[in-house]
Amino acid sequence: MSDEELRAAFMKGYQEAIKGDVVPAVPSLSVLHSESQLLT
């Protein structure tokens, strides 16, 4: 998978989580995202 594909999959999962009842998953996704930003 390319970076673009990963990013698209991440955004899709993120939007699905917001739409559905998976709201508790959103903060952990945000943490994961900001941590990966720090690593690069």
For the stretch 9-22, pLDDT in tens is: 888 887 777 676 65
Q: What is the pLDDT of residue 29?
A: 64
Global pTM?
Answer: 0.39
The residue among 38 and 8 whose pLDDT is bigger is 8
pLDDT, residue 4, reads 92
Note the pLDDT tens digit of each residue in 21-34: 655 555 666 676 67
Q: Could you give the 3-state DSSP secondary structure of residue 35?
A: helix
CA distances from 36 to 6, 19, 21 (A): 13, 24, 25
What confidence score (pLDDT) does residue 33 get? 66
Distance CA 2, CA 36 (A): 16
